[in-house]
Each structure stands twice: as C-alpha cells, then as structure tokens.
Amino acid sequence: MALKMVKGSIDRMFDKNLQDLVRGIRNHKEDEAKYISQCIDEIKQELKQDNIAVKANAVCKLTYLQMLGYDISWAAFNIIEVMSASKFTFKRIGYLAASQCFHEGTDVIMLTTNQIRKDLSSPSQYDTGVALTGLSCFVTPDLARDLANDIMTLMSHTKPYIRKKAVLIMYKVFLKYPESLRPAFPRLKEKLEDPDPGVQSAAVNVICELARRNPKNYLSLAPLFFKLMTSSTNNWVLIKIIKLFGALTPLEPRLGKKLIEPLTNLIHSTSAMSLLYECVNTVIAVLISLSSGMPNHSASIQLCVQKLRILIEDSDQNLKYLGLLAMSKILRTHPKSVQSHKDLILQCLDDKDESIRLRALDLLYGMVSKKNLMEIVKRLMTHVDKAEGTTYRDELLTKIIDICSQSNYQYITNFEWYISILVELTRLEGTRHGHLIAAQMLDVAIRVKAIRKFAVSQMSMLLDSAHLVASSTQRNGICEVLYAAAWICGEFSEHLQEPHQTLEAMLRPKVTTLPGHIQAVYVQNVVKLYASILQQQEQAAEPEAAQEVTQLMVERLPQFVQSADLEVQERASCILQLVKHVQKLQGKGVPVAEEVSALFAGELNPVAPKAQKKVPVPEGLDLDAWINEPPSDSESEDEKPKAIFHDEEQRQARHRQPEVDEEELARRREARKQEQANNPFYIKSSPSPQKAPVTAALLSQRYQDAPGVEHIPVVQIDLSVPLKVPGMPMSDQYVKLEEERRHRQRLEKDKKKRRKKKEKEKDKKGKHRRHSSLPTESDEDIAPAQQVDIVTEEMPENALPSDEDDKDPNDPYRALDIDLDKPLADSEKLPIQKHRNAETPKSPEKEDVPVVEKKSKKPKKKEKKHKEKEREKEKKEEKEKKAEDLDFWLSTTPPPATAPAPIPSTEELAVNAVTAPDNTCEGLRREEAEDENDEAEQDPERKSSRHKKKKHKKEKEERTKDKKKVKKKQPEPEEEAAGPVENGAAEEEPAPPMSSYCLLAENSYIKMTYDIQASLQKDSQVTVSVILENQSSSFLKNMELNVLDSLNAKMARPEGSSVHDGVPVPFQLPPGVSNEAQFVFTIQSIIMAQKLKGTLSFIAKDADGATHEKLDFRLHFSCSSYLVTTPCYSDAFAKLLESGDLSMSSIKVDGISMSFQNLLAKICFHHHFSVVERVDSCASMYSRSIQGHHVCLLVKKGEHSVSVDGKCSDSTLLSNLLEEMKATLAQC
Amino acid sequence: MIQAILVFNNHGKPRLVRFYQRFPEEIQQQIVRETFHLVLKRDDNICNFLEGGSLIGGSDYKLIYRHYATLYFVFCVDSSESELGILDLIQVFVETLDKCFENVCELDLIFHMDKVHYILQEVVMGGMVLETNMNEIVAQMEAQNRLEKSENFPMTLHLSTR
C-alpha cells in the first residue's frame, strides 16, 4: 500500500501539471488542437489511477481546458471523486471543476448530495466554504430540497465567513426550491442585523434580489431597511437598500414620503457618485409613485434633474451615460423638466460613444412634441446619413419610426412629410428593418384616409424604381418595402395617376427575382390594379385599350406561373385563368369591369392586434369540452392532427358573433362562386364574387361602415431651425412647406386674435393687453396639414379586460411570489428538518452513511437542541416584532414630512376611477386597488375598540410630547398601529407602540425630538438624529446647531471649523413641516451617561420680516444609547457567563402590572437588548456596547415585581445601565 | 445578479471564464468572442457600459468592463446591480489579484487560472457579491493558502525521508 502511494507520487512528478499544460499549449501554437487532444488522452490515463493527487491534478487541467471551450462533462464522475478527497487542496480543485461544468442536466450530480452534506458540516470552515461556493453554481431542485435544512443551519454558524456564504446561497436554494422560502425567511431576516457587516450585506443582497421580483411581499421589511439605511455606512449595503426602496415605493406611497428627506440629505452629503446616482434614481421612483400632491415635489424633481445635468456634463463618460439613463426615467412622468435640457441631449447625439448616443436617442423619444418633431427627425436623418456601422444606423431608423408613430401618431401634423421620410429611409443601404418601414407605410396608408392619394403616388414611384431597391440590396431586407408599396398601389388603385404605368412596373421580369412572399403580393395586387384600369377604360368607352391591358396581363403573368414559390405559382395560375376568361368575354364585347372589380369590393379597417384574444367566451360555452368524441387509441397516429385541426376550426366558428357568422357564410359562398368562375368548365350566368381575405397582418375583418374619426385640432407654429433650400431632399420640402403653413396659420390666428382683442379692448379698456399679446404656442394649437382621420383600431364588442397579456407564465421568479407574513404551517417545514426532528434517534446521516462513529452523535444532539431553542426564540421574536408592523412604522415614528393618512390616496383613486370610465381595464384595476385600501382601513377600525382599552396604559408610557404630536398629526395611522395581531399569537396582548424619539426642546417656533443611534462599526461614535418640526407659521431657515463640547463628548464638525462653530442644518422648514437632521458625536468613555448643553439658532421669516431666534437644549446621552442590539445564541451566552470576567449587579422594581412580554419588548426597544432565551417568566438578554462591552441580563418577573440581574465587563457601565432600566421599569 | 465574469486579453484569448448561468461550452466561447469584439472597438476614453442585449439574457443585462494594460475584465450584470458599484467591484477584484500575486500581470493569470478562480470565489458567489472588503478577501485567501501548505508539507517531508 505504502509502496503504491510512493509510486503514485513519483509518477506524479512526471505528469504535467497545470503550468506545464499551459506552457505546452503556448509552445504548440500551430497544432494547438492536436496537442490538446494528446493532453486529454494523458488526462484520461491519469484519471484512471488510484492516486487522488494525480486525479486532482488531471481535473485541474481539465478546468483549464474547459475555459478554452472543451467539453469536460465526460469527467463528471472523476470530478466528484476529487470533490470527496479529504484534503482541502484537492477538494477545492474538485469543487471548482464542478462549478464550471455541472448543471441540472448532469446526471451524476445526484451522487454528490451526501458528500456535500458532509462537507457542509465539516469542522473546517474552508471545507464548508468551498462546498457552499461550489453548490451555489450547480444547485439543482433536488440538491436544494435535500440540503436546504443544512444550509439554513449554517446561517447561524459561529464563523461569519460561513454565515455570509450560507445566507447568500439561500437565494439559489429559494429559486430552485421555492417551498424553502417561508421556513427560512425568519432567519434570513434576522441576518439583516447580524453583527458582521459581511453577513449583513449578504442578507441585504438576498432580500433585495427576492424583493425585486415580488416587491409586495417584502413591504413589511421596510422599517428594518429604513433603519439600516440611516445607520449603515457601507455604501454597498446602502446602494442595495436604496435600490430596494426604489422597487418598494410604487406599492406604498407613504413609504416614498418618508424616504424623500433622508434621500435628499444623502444626495447633498455623499461624495460617492455611485450612491448619489442610486439615491437620485430612487427619488425619481418615489416621485413617480407619488404622482402628485407633494408640495415640494417640483423641488425634488429639480434637484434630481440638476444633479443629472451635472453628471451628463461631466467629462467621465460613465457618469454621462448614467445621467442620461436616469433622465429617461424622469422623462416618463415629468417630461417638462427634461425637455428644458434638450440642448444637452441633442449634443449627446454627436458623442463619439455609441452607448451614449443610444441613450440620448431613448430620451428623444419622450421629448418630441408636435412643435419639434420635424426638427428632431431632421436631425436624426442627418445622423442616419453620417452613421457608421449598421447597428447604430438601424437603431436610428427604429427610433425615428418609434418617435413618429408613438401614441397613435400623436405628434405628426403632416403625414405627407412622414411618408416622404419613410420613402427616404428606403434608400438606406444594408438595413435589416425593411419590414418595419413597410409596416409603417401600410399602417399609415390604411389608417390615415386623407393621405392615401399621396401615399399611392409615392408608392408607385417606389415600384417604378424598384430595381434600385431590389438589385443592390436584395439580401438585406429593404425590398420588404416593395411588399407594402405593391399592396398600397393595388388596394388604393383608384388614387393612382397613371395606373397603367404602375401595372407595367409590377409586371417587369425583374420582379421574379424578389422573395416569394413579395411576388405573391405583387400578383394579387396586379389584379386589383387591373380591375380598376378595366373600370376606368370601360367608363371612358375605350374597349381596345381595355383589351390591350388584358393582353398585357396574359403575356406577363406566365412568368409568375413558373415561379418556384408555391404561393406565387398558385395565385398566378388562378389569376391567369381568370384573365383569360375575361379576355374571352371582352372579345364578345361583354362589359366585365364591374364584375372584376367586385372581386375587391369593400373597405378594410384596422383591427387591434389583441382583438382576437379579447373576444369574450359566450356564456355556456366550454372551450375545453370535447366537441367530437376524443380519438380512440386504436386510431392511427396520422389521423390525430386532423382531429385536432377540426376541433380548432369549430372553436373559431363559435368565437364569432352571430352576424360575423353570416358574413363568414356569405364569404364562403362567394369563395365557392369564385372558384367556379375560375373553373373554365363551369359555366354560369353572372359571377358576383367577393374578395378573399387579405394577408396583411393588420387586416383581418371587413366592415361596411368606417368607425368614428378623430379630428385633430388645428393651429400654427414657428420653427427656429434655419433650413437649407437648395438641393434639399424631399422630406425637407415638407418641413419647409409645413413651416410656411404653420406660419400662415399663425398669422391668421393672430389676426383673429387681434380682432377679438380689439373687441375685448372695446369692452374692457386694455385691461388684458399684456396677457393677450403673448402668442402662446402650445402643442395643442398646431393643426395637422390635412384633414387627418386616424382610424382607431377596432376591438370586439365587450372585449374582456385582461392584464395578463404580457405576463410570462414561465417566469422562474413567479414561484417565489409567496406571502411571507403568514405563520408557518407544519406542512411547510423543510422536509429534512422534519425528518431530523423525529423522536427516533436515527438521523438521515446515519441512514445514508452507515459508518458513523459514536462520538459524532453527541454534537448532533446538541445541535438539535440548539436548533429547537432557536426556533422557540424565533417564535418569541416574531411575537415581539408584532409591534413593528409596517403601518405602525409608517405612522408612529415622526416622519420628516407630514404623511397624510391613506384616505387622500383613496380619494384620488376614486377620482381616477371616475374619470376613466371608458377604459374598462384601467377602471377595474383601480377599483380593485381601492377595495384593498378599504379593507385595510376597515381592519384597524375593527380593532380600534380594543386598542382604546390599551390606550390608558400607553398614555402613561409614552412621553407626553410624543403622544401629543402623533395624535395631532396622524390620528388615522395611529389607530392602524394597533392592528397587528397575528394568528397563533392571539393569547399575548400586543405590545404598545413605542417611539425612541424623545423631546429635546420646544418653543413657539420649533419642536425638537431626538434619538441616539450607535453602530458597531464605529467604536466611539454615535449619531444623533434630531427631528425638527416647525410649529409656527413662519419660514425657518439658516438653522444651526451648536453644542458645548465636553472632554468626553465632542460633536463632529465639518473640517476647518473651530469647536465654537455650529453645524448647519442641511434644510429649511416651511410652516408645519418637519425634517430630520443627523449629527455625529465622538464619545471617549461610554461607561457614564452624560449631558451636553447646546443651542439651536435659526432665522424665522414671516410676512412681517425676519427675526433671529434661539432655542437651548440639553442633549442626554444615556448609557443605553451606547448599546447596540446584537443577537447572541444561548451557547455563546452561556460561555460568556462562564468566562467569569464579568462583574455583577442587580436591581428590583416593585409594582409592575405590565405583561412580561411587553416588559421585555420595552427593554429591547429602549435599552437595545435582545432576548437570548425565555422560559416562562424568566428571560436572559444580551447586548453589546459600541466599545465591545458585553452586557448580560437575567430578568425575572414575580407577582408584581421584576428583578434584573446584570453581568457586564465594566461595573460602572452596568450600574448606570441598571439605573436607567429601573427608571424605565418604574413607568410600567 | 452577475450573470458572467469574463477576463480576456487584447487579442481575445480567454483568461478567466465564469458563467453563473448554464451555457454549453461552444456558446460560452461564442459569447466570449462576441463580447471581445464589442469591447475591442471601444476607445479607452468612452463609457464602460455596454448594452450586450442579445448576448446573454436580453435587455435587462449590461456589460460593464474595465481595461487594464493587456486585459479586459468584463462583468455581465442585470439591473439589480449598481453600474458604478460594479466598476468599483472590478477595481477591488483587480487590486486583490495585485495583492495576492504581488504585482499581477497577464502571465500570472495565464499560469494560475485556478488561483484566480479561488480569489474570485471570495468576491462573487453564485452571481452575487460576497465581499467587497479587500483586506478580508486577502486574509481569507492567505488562510486558505496556509491550509493548503500545511496539507502538502507533510507529504514532501515524507518523500525526502525516503
């Protein structure tokens, strides 16, 4: 055995290692593939050896080859062997290879479950870490299910290194095994407050990913995130949280209001561009969600746009790009604010950077108006000419079309101009978007009736010069426009000036080189054209000319009959026969024109693309019911599709409205007649065929009457762009014409106005002169050149409103749309967890790995116990956190801006619902939202009676000022605050709402409340948040806060200012508004409480003038404020107590009537403790100071008394803390 | 989420290919090639964001890259990541490489692809940012290197005594 090992090791010295392989490949540049295949053969040999080191080396080389594009999945089993090596060195190689090449389809992956489980519970943190990292890349639904519980345990591992990895991988587990989300969520939430910043950041990361997909389920976490946002200094975490808020605020407008101030402050204060940018983004999201009703709304928008302009003007291209990106978000809701920066954006179109140009293009889309559309498009057209590279040019092309066609061609005033733009675009070389242009041509020609004549003339020119389009660029799709051109010329042939010429153009031999589907349209439309020519000539009584045309058809059509394309061939031969028949009739002198043109009688109307889907299912029709008996098994395979097809046809017929049914019947009849007419052997007296359905996608139904037509109001405009007159392309002509037209119109209007004005002036002598002499040109004033009918797209009657149109049923994140606030049902527990909890001592490990030493059992048991305890604790904490209900948070903590109760928003919704009655979809959705809102409001009302009972108690606890304020400002939300009663916790009375903000000082102008927050990251700093509320009717500004520093505590002042300078408050306060400012203090020793004297100075400005005012205060830093809530597990807690270097002290308070639950909640809240363990009326609690003192408490409740025993690494701190606690408890 | 991390040199030779979503090897190579062609034609003084679009995952994804001497570091990320944040992250990754390899150059990446992967694993895990603190990353790497040495050392001792 030993010999074998040595032999292996020696062999290994002759093997190539990774470096040799790389070197070898570099030395064989000419025959790399051959060399590598040699190496793979060697690797295969190495993998056959027993020595794990050799195998690991081979797998390492394979990983390198995988990067070069070689499939290494054949070595999957060997990779698993290396993964299960006992040495970390090899294990790591194995897991790396696995993470690179394993996936859900790898069949051996199921063999890894036990190995991974073993590694996860390995005593070495790096074994565990490597397994977690590997697993994160190849986790499958099976692995996720089997390992979810093990990973969940690791989330509470003692090592932060493991914790953070375990937390992060949970996201992957959730994705693959959504059932694990609910059981794991409480712990995940707990990790948001993990003492280790890495773990915290991981938890934030995971929750943000989850919330991004299903934000509404995570709204209840908003308070927690808000706290993190105001306390965290880690920009990564901040960015994630701020991004998350961006996703949450559309769901809860009150949240947005709460956010806007701290975000604005961050925007002002941060130096990190990344953070600034995300803040701006989220503020934009907030403003979008608020829509209206915020007084300083426009100020925030202005701030954002300003900051973005700075970004866009920056020389750093990255900032420029992002600035434009964010700008486009503002554009959607506040186009006006962005439009004023048009200069900047047009400038960006000339940027050398394509990404930036594309972004600027996006912005243009929202910036057009009737006024500037032509100018902008003109500019884009020059870019099209200049553009290098087809990608950008194609992008320009699509953008031009997008911009022009947006919201039903809203901004186009002159369609002649638009058609000529489209025609100009056909001259683009190498574009892929011929079909887009074609679709636009069709759409415009069909929907804008007034333009048809012009369109037809342009299209016939296009057909005439088809050789230009088709010859040079046949392969790149621009010839698609010929499809549109041919169809338009055919369908609207009555508008053609020289139909004969167009007919000849369409029958040129060159046409046969076009793609089949275009030829088919040609053939079909040649007949339409033919029909109209016949009619014209018969009316003009020129039978010879008519016969000539027929002759031309008979001569030219055979070229299509020979086409290889079936469709073309079929149509051509049908039509050829038809024409020959006509020729016969003509020979006999029978007038045929009317009958031929009857083939194409009727008007086409556009139908909405979704119309078919929206047809309601008639009552009593079961679409899933069998119409025919299901095919029996004995039926042969090839008969089945037939049956299915039949079934579908039936359905379609049923879909239609009754009158359509008749139409359909009629059409069939006509089709039959037409068939007969084309049959030379069928002789019948008077054919009256109707046209067969047209292939164009838009058109699927015919109606006799044109529906209502929208008239666009008319007026004029002034274009500032100087236009080059000589040699300008066609569309420019129209720009110029349009400009003149608008000018004329304006003159006329001015005249009228002046006349009116004069009349007015006669009435009210010159009173309105200034007002009316300003010719204001708003968009609405511009009239279209032609009488434009944009025919609206038709929808079936009583179409079904459905929002589901765009939802992808295969979205993997849909499965994670899970209500996280519902209590866990037993059935939801993670499967393995259940297994392990079973009373029987056999654990799955034991089953799966039969050889388990007895020793290893013990720790497992312990672990189990530990887990159970934890679960208990979780339950407890859950109950405690009831008080942290979202509504409570949104209402009790004094928000910076007075957050109105939800009622106004309901009203707003109601108004919306009323104003949009015709839009059934919208209306319905809104009504639903309203219903929800109603429910939400009713709920708290139901509970409010109960709440009132408790109010007495609460009144005692709450500092009077706070209460007053809450009452005064938000009576509504406060009632809601009593709401949170979760099922399963009903026997416990809910904890009263608590606020950590207490009064600092107050006078007739201003009220200050404050809270002190400590964070573990900074051992000698605390942040004091002061809420300033303007209680007067004056405008408060130039606020400055100054504090007399003590030796022990100093306020952090901006660099360069002396200790006597105050710190300016970064905002101003309009009457009735409150806002929060934060000040940082440096504390040397934290073992004693202390007070600092300070002054707030400000200028109060009202109608009478400004006065300088002052307000003195005393800032009290209690010892509790230096404590940071830190979770601690019972085993760590026990160790701490055993260590013996803690001093002890105790207090006892009598006359306490409050429930133990609430008592604990109070201690947790006011003194920043967390409950480690609770047994009946006894609980152990833990907290940590910012300077690392451990504080342990044992709280016991007697009949009417509470005793608190404390242990702490500093005796002074402990006694001070206990004194403070005594004061709190005495109020209970 | 980060969808892929690609490192290649000025000639498009891959130096590190890490996908967090399954693609067959030939597609991976194709993506590397196309990404290379996309970034290659971009000057150094234009923005570091690219809408990769069709390459991976569609319009929600962006390519964010940095160019260092002979190497391109490209991250393909979706909209949940902050663009500037990812640029910083690339910087952190490169600086970490620099610390771990002591003046990193392309050759280090060529011959120690495995180590580069291990370092990356401490920065990004399963497509999510794991750690951004360089000192922490370096400390974990060093600890693992020590562990590796302690495992391999007895064996060399064993050999030499024979």
Q: Are A1030 and A1006 in contact (CB under 8 A)?
A: yes
Q: How far apart are CA A380 and CA A373, in angstroms?
A: 10
Contacts of A212 in chain B (CB under 8 A): 80
Nearest by CB to B17, from A67, A278, A355: name it: A67
User: Which residues in chain A are closer than 8 Å to B125, comparing Cβ atoms?
Assistant: 132-133, 136, 165, 168-169
pLDDT at A933 over 70: no
Residue A447 is inside which H or E element, if any?
helix A434-447
Chain B hits for A322, CB-CB cut-off 8 Å, are 49, 83-84
Long-range own/partner contacts, residues A928-932 (CB < 8 A, 24 or more apart)? A930/A906
pLDDT surpassing 70 at residue A72: yes
User: Could you say which of A136, A208, A356 has the minimum Cβ distance to residue B126?
Assistant: A136
Alpha-carbon separation of residue A178 from A170, A393, A817, A1126 (angstroms): 10, 44, 9, 30
Q: pLDDT confidence of A262, banded at 50, 70, 90?
A: confident
Predicted-assembly ipTM surpassing the 0.90 threshold? yes
pTM value?
0.55
Angle of helix A1156-1167 relative to helix A1211-1226, nearest 10 degrees? 130
Share of residues in chain A with pLDDT > 70 (%): 69
Quick check: A505 and A459 in contact, CB under 8 A? no
Whether A64 and chain B come into contact, CB under 8 Å, resolves to: yes
Which of B:104-143 have CB within 8 Å of A?
110-114, 117-118, 121, 125-133, 136, 140, 143
Residue appearing with tokens 């029996």: A632
Asked if the model's pLDDT at residue A80 lies above 90, the reply is yes
Please name the residue of chain A whose CA is at the shortest distance from the CA of residue B155.
A9
Task: Give residues with Cβ within 8 angstroms of A1005, minimum separation 6.
Answer: A1030, A1031, A1032, A1034, A1036, A1098, A1100, A1109, A1111
- Contact, A1111 vs A1008, CB < 8 A? yes
Taking the Cβ of residue B68 and every Cβ of chain A, the question of whether any pair is shorter than 8 Å is answered with no
* Residue A706: pLDDT band with limits 50, 70, 90: very low
A616 vs A622: CA distance, rounded Å: 12
| Contact indicator for A1123, A1209 with CB cutoff of 8 Å | no
In chain A, the residue whose alpha carbon lies closest to the alpha carbon of B7 is A67
Name chain A contacts of B111, Cβ cutoff 8 Å. Answer: 18-19, 22-23
Q: What is the pLDDT of residues B111-160, one digit of tens each?
A: 999 999 999 999 999 999 999 999 999 999 999 999 988 887 655 444 44
Whether residue A1040 contacts residue A1076, with contact meaning beta carbons closer than 8 Å, is answered with no
Q: Are residues A139 and A104 in contact, defined by beta-carbon separation less than 8 angstroms?
A: no
Q: Do B126 and A68 touch (CB under 8 A)?
A: no
Mark yes or no for CB contact B125/A358 under 8 Å: no
Residue A1096 DSSP label: E
Mark which residues 301-330 of A lie under 8 Å from B by CB. 317-318, 320-322
Average pLDDT, integer, range A951-970: 45
pLDDT at A495: 87
In chain A, which among 109-148 make CB contacts under 8 A with chain B? 124, 126, 132-133, 136-137, 139
Q: Which two tokens stand for residue A980?
A: 């949170």
Kindly determine whether residue B128 and residue A278, on different chains, have CB atoms separated by under 8 Å. no
Least confident of A434-448, A556-570, A986-1000: A986-1000
**For B156, left (φ over 0), alpha (ψ -120 to 50), or beta?**
alpha
Q: With contacts defined as CB-CB under 8 Å, which chain A residues touch B120?
A: none
Q: Do A172 and B126 touch (CB under 8 A)?
A: yes
Give percent of chain A above pLDDT 90.
Answer: 14
Across the interface, of B84, B143, B162, the residue whose CB is closest to A6 is: B162
Q: Which of B8, B25, B110, B115 to mutate to test the interface with A (most CBs of A within 10 A)?
A: B25
Nearest chain A alpha carbon to B125? A133
Partners of A136 on chain B (C-beta within 8 Å) are: 125-127
- For residue B26, the chain A residues in CB contact (below 8 A) are 69
Mean pLDDT of chain A: 74
pLDDT confidence tier of residue A1166, bands split at 50, 70 and 90: confident
A–B interface: beta-carbon pairs under 8 A: 148
- The answer to whether A208 contacts B80, with C-beta atoms less than 8 Å apart, is yes
Query: Closest Cα to residue B118, out of B88, B97, B89?
Result: B97
B interface mutation test: which of A168, A273, A350 has the most B CBs within 10 A?
Answer: A168
Q: Do B147 and A6 touch (CB under 8 A)?
A: no
For A1167-1182, the pLDDT digits (tens) are 888 888 887 788 888 8
| Residue A320 to residue B47, Cβ atoms within 8 A | yes
Q: Spell out which residues of chain A touch residue B16, defining contact as CB-CB under 8 Å.
A: 67
Q: Does B69 touch chain A (CB under 8 A)?
A: no
Across the beta sheet with B62-68, the strand order is B14-19, B2-9, B71-77, B62-68, B49-50
Contact A132, A162 (CB under 8 A): yes
Q: Provide the token pair at A1181.
A: 């609690």
Q: Does residue B82 sit at the A interface (CB-CB below 8 Å)?
A: yes
Per CB-CB distance under 8 Å, the chain B contacts of A36 are none
Q: At what angle do helices A516-539 and A543-556 cross, to 10 degrees?
A: 170
Distance CA B121, CA B117 (A): 6
The count of C-alpha atoms lying within 13 angstroms of the C-alpha of A960, restricted to the half-sphere facing its C-beta, is 1
Identify the pLDDT of residue A932: 44
State chain A's maximal CA–CA distance in angstroms. Answer: 125
> Could you read off the pLDDT of A186-234 as tens digits, one per residue?
999 989 888 998 999 999 999 999 988 888 888 888 888 888 888 888 8
> Residue A628: how many CB atoms within 10 A of its CB?
9
Q: Is A929 on the interface with B (CB under 8 A)?
A: no
Q: Helix A297-313 crosses helix A273-290 at what angle (to 10 degrees)?
A: 140
Residue A292 burial (10 A CB sphere; 0-12, 13-18, 19+): exposed
Among residues B114, B85, B125, which one has the least CA distance to residue A161?
Answer: B125
Is there a contact between A999 and A1007 (Cβ–Cβ < 8 Å)?
Answer: yes
What is the pLDDT confidence band of residue A983, given thresholds at 50, 70 and 90?
Answer: very low
- A 1186-1215: CB under 8 A from B: none
The model's pLDDT over A601-654, given as tens digits with 9 standing for 90+, comes to 887 777 777 777 777 777 778 878 887 777 665 544 444 444 444 444 444 444
- Chain centroid to Cα B145, Å, comes to 19
Record the tokens describing residue A1198, joined without a space. Answer: 């007697």
Largest separation between any pair of C-alpha atoms in chain B: 62
Instruction: Tell me if A512 sits within 8 A of A560, measured CB to CB.
Output: yes
Residue B43's closest chain A neighbor by CA? Answer: A353
The Cα of B140 is separated from the nearest Cα of chain A by a number of Å equal to: 9
pLDDT tens-digit series, residues A1106-1132: 888 888 888 888 888 888 877 777 777
Give the residue ranges of DSSP H helices in A764-856. Answer: 769-773, 831-837, 844-848
Is there a contact between A1027 and A894 (Cβ–Cβ < 8 Å)?
Answer: yes
* pLDDT at A978 (0 to 100): 39
Pairwise CA distance, residues A550 & A590, whole Å: 14
Asked if B16 has any chain A CB less than 8 Å from its own CB, the reply is: yes
Compute the radius of gyration of chain B from its Cα atoms.
17
pLDDT at position A150 is 92
Tell me if chain A has a CB within 8 Å of the CB of B145: no
B114: chain A residues, CB-CB within 8 Å: 18, 60, 63-64, 93, 96
CB contact under 8 A, A239 and B82: yes
Contact residues, chain B, for A206 at CB < 8 Å = 128
DSSP letters for A167-194: HHHHHHHHHH-GGGHHHHHHHHHHGGG-
pLDDT-derived band at A793, boundaries 50, 70, 90: low
Instruction: Count H helices and E strands in chain B, helices first.
Output: 5, 7
Alpha-carbon dihedral A427, A432, A436, A438, rounded to 10 degrees: 50
pLDDT at A961: 44
Asked whether the beta carbons of A1198 and A1027 are under 8 A apart, the reply is no
Smallest Cβ–Cβ distance between B49 and the set A132, A274, A355 belongs to A355
> Rounded distance, CA A515 to CA A278, Å?
50
Query: Taking CB atoms and an 8 Å limit, are A318 and B88 in contact across chains?
Result: no
Nearest CB neighbour to A165, from listed B20, B130, B155? B130
B56: distance to nearest CA of chain A, Å?
A: 16
Which of A10, A236, A394 should one mutate to test binding to chain B, selecting the residue with the greatest count of B CBs within 10 A?
A: A236
